[in-house]
């Protein structure tokens, strides 16, 4: 999936904690802070395949 | 001298088929026979031989699967044939001549009755045929809703002329044409594969719904997307489920293509020879296109693969779609 945003991304992780992502780039393919947040949901980014997220990262 | 009346001499005579220089096949928009075909019923000393029919010519020449060019299979009594059919297409009606090899009886009749043969041994001859050509998609695969489980076919009969006469000293004598003994011998060809190209992209569609995901991943993704949207992010789902057939097509179209399209322009990339790609039974794609002489047309093959991965196709960018070559495609989705 393709994820984009503008400004800061103030988002709730799977543990109910509020996380403010201020880093760039502001897209799901490259933002490693969002990758870490996705992990809390059990959704893992496959690096090297821009839109690819999975349960295993493969 | 003795005469045995009406001994049946089943043989053909090519002299009545004087249309040796047949014109080109007349291809209309509805029916296009260009491409690779395979014999699916036993045709005169031929098993599941493969044939190539050119777009502008009426010839069906013999080819080997995955090999460039044509060849001439041997007849059992000597000689060979460089093509099986030469025909003219009118609508869905295909008529013309078929080249056949003699069995021992036929050869004796040709020799004794001095019937025309295409070689000095009397082992190769020709007769007329008529057939119905059903071309639902061809030459590239089209909308599966048209005929989802039907391959194009050429279904017809060739004329076995009846000849009568007597026997003397083990030879046929007083040979004469006997239409009462004419027979129509059935044969059938089926399209072996459909050219690669944009039409394939509409096949085996993928899903964008998270309902296609397995649990618990489905719930996890839905929660993640809900959190993203609540935070104001824009989320677009590209694919949740990709049939293995589509994964196969995307991967090898990427491998074969020598260019990819990204950021509004084409970029060169490394590519493989399309003739090296294994084609599974359930996906009848011709990765290799051919020229009129049945030689591989690598430029056309690459162009078709480019179209498949380009902006009007799968829209692939590096690293291209992944595919496990060990995937079992014999029982596709």
- Chain B residues closer than 8 Å to A54 by CB: 217
Q: What is the pLDDT of residue B24?
A: 32
Dihedral of CA B141/B142/B143/B146: which sign? negative
Residue B257 and residue B194: Cα distance in Å, rounded?
18
Secondary structure element (H or E) that encloses residue B160, with its range: strand B153-160
CB within 8 Å: A5 and B239: no
Of all residues in chain A, the one with the smallest CA distance to B220 is A41
CA distance B273 to chain A (A): 24
Higher pLDDT, A7 or B140: A7
Report pLDDT digits (tens) over A33-55.
999 999 999 999 988 778 889 98
- Chain B residues closer than 8 Å to A50 by CB: 317
- B77, B107 Cβ separation under 8 angstroms: yes
A58 — pLDDT class (breaks 50, 70, 90):
confident
Q: What are phi and psi of B32, to 5 degrees?
A: -135, 115
Q: Please, which residues 26-45 of chain A have a Cβ atom closer than 8 Å to chain B?
A: 38, 41-43
> What is the DSSP secondary-structure string of B36-86?
EEEE-S--SS-SS-EEEE-SS--EEEEE-TT-SSEE-PBPTTS-B-SEEEE
CB within 8 Å: A12 and B217: no
Q: What is the pLDDT of residue B29?
A: 45
Residue B197 and residue B286: Cα distance in Å, rounded?
9
CA distance B322 to chain A (A): 9
Residue B218 and residue B225: Cα distance in Å, rounded?
11
Q: What are phi and psi of B248, to 5 degrees?
A: -60, -50
Burial (CB < 10 A; 0-12, 13-18, 19+), residue B227, is buried
- Chain B residues closer than 8 Å to A55 by CB: 217, 220
The SS3 assignment for A45 reads: strand
Q: What is the pLDDT of residue B85?
A: 93
Please give the interface size between A and B, counted as residue pairs whose CB atoms are below 8 Å apart.
60
The SS3 assignment for B141 reads: coil
Alpha carbon B309 to its chain centroid, in Å, reads: 24
DSSP state of B193: -
Question: Which of A5, A41, A49 is closest, CB to CB, to B232?
Answer: A5
Q: What is the pLDDT of residue B43?
A: 85
CA distance B95 to chain A (A): 53
Residue A37 and residue B292: Cα distance in Å, rounded?
58
- Total Cβ atoms within 10 A of residue B139: 23
**pTM exceeds 0.80:** no
Rg (alpha carbons) of chain A, rounded to whole number? 11
- B52, B63 Cβ separation under 8 angstroms: yes
Q: Does A19 touch chain B (CB under 8 A)?
A: no
Rg (alpha carbons) of chain B, rounded to whole number? 27
Question: Which of A2, A41, A50 is closest, CB to CB, to B223?
Answer: A41
pLDDT (tens, 9 = 90+) of chain B, 333 residues, equals 223 333 334 444 433 332 322 333 333 346 788 899 999 987 888 989 999 998 655 789 999 998 999 999 999 999 999 999 999 988 889 999 999 999 999 999 999 999 999 999 999 999 999 999 887 666 677 655 554 456 788 999 999 999 999 999 999 999 999 999 999 999 999 999 989 999 899 888 888 999 989 999 999 999 999 999 999 999 999 888 888 899 999 999 999 999 999 999 999 999 999 999 999 888 889 999 999 899 999 999 999 999 999 999 999 999 898 888 887 776 544
β-bridge pairing B285-286 and B194-195: parallel
Q: What is the pLDDT of residue B149?
A: 56
């Amino acid at each position: 999936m393709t994820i984009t945003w503008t400004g800061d991304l103030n988002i709730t992780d799977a543990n109910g904690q509020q996380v403010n992502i201020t880093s760039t780039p502001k897209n799901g393919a490259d933002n490693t802070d969002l990758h870490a947040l996705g992990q809390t949901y059990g959704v893992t980014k496959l690096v090297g395949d821009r839109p690819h997220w999975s349960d295993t990262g493969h | 001298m003795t005469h045995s009346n009406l001994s049946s001499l089943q043989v053909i005579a090519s002299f009545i088929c004087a249309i040796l220089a047949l014109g080109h096949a007349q291809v209309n928009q509805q029916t296009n026979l260009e491409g690779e075909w395979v014999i699916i019923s036993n045709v005169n000393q031929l098993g599941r031989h493969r044939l190539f029919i050119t777009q502008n010519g009426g010839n069906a020449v013999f080819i080997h699967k995955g090999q460039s060019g044509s060849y001439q299979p041997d007849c059992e009594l000597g000689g060979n044939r460089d093509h099986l059919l030469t025909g003219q297409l009118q609508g869905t009606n295909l008529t013309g001549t078929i080249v056949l090899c003699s069995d021992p009886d036929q050869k004796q009749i040709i020799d004794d009755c001095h019937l025309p043969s295409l070689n000095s041994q009397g082992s190769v001859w020709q007769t007329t045929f008529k057939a119905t050509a059903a071309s639902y998609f061809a030459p590239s695969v089209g909308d599966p809703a048209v005929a989802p489980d039907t391959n194009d076919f050429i279904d017809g009969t060739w004329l076995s002329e009846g000849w009568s006469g007597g026997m003397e000293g083990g030879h046929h004598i007083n040979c004469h044409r006997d239409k009462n003994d004419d027979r129509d011998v059935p044969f059938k060809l089926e399209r072996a594969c459909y050219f690669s190209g944009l039409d394939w992209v509409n096949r085996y569609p993928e899903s964008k719904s998270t309902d296609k995901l397995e649990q618990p991943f489905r719930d996890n993704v839905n929660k993640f997307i809900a959190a993203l949207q609540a935070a104001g992010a824009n989320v677009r789902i590209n694919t949740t489920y990709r049939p293995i057939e589509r994964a196969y097509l995307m991967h090898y179209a990427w491998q074969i293509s020598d260019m990819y399209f990204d950021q509004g322009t084409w970029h060169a990339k490394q590519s493989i020879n399309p003739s090296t790609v294994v084609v599974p039974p359930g996906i009848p794609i011709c990765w290799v296109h051919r020229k009129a002489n049945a030689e591989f047309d690598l430029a056309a093959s690459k162009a078709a693969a480019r179209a498949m991965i380009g902006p009007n196709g799968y829209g692939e960018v590096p690293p291209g779609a992944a595919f496990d070559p060990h995937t079992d495609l014999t029982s596709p989705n």
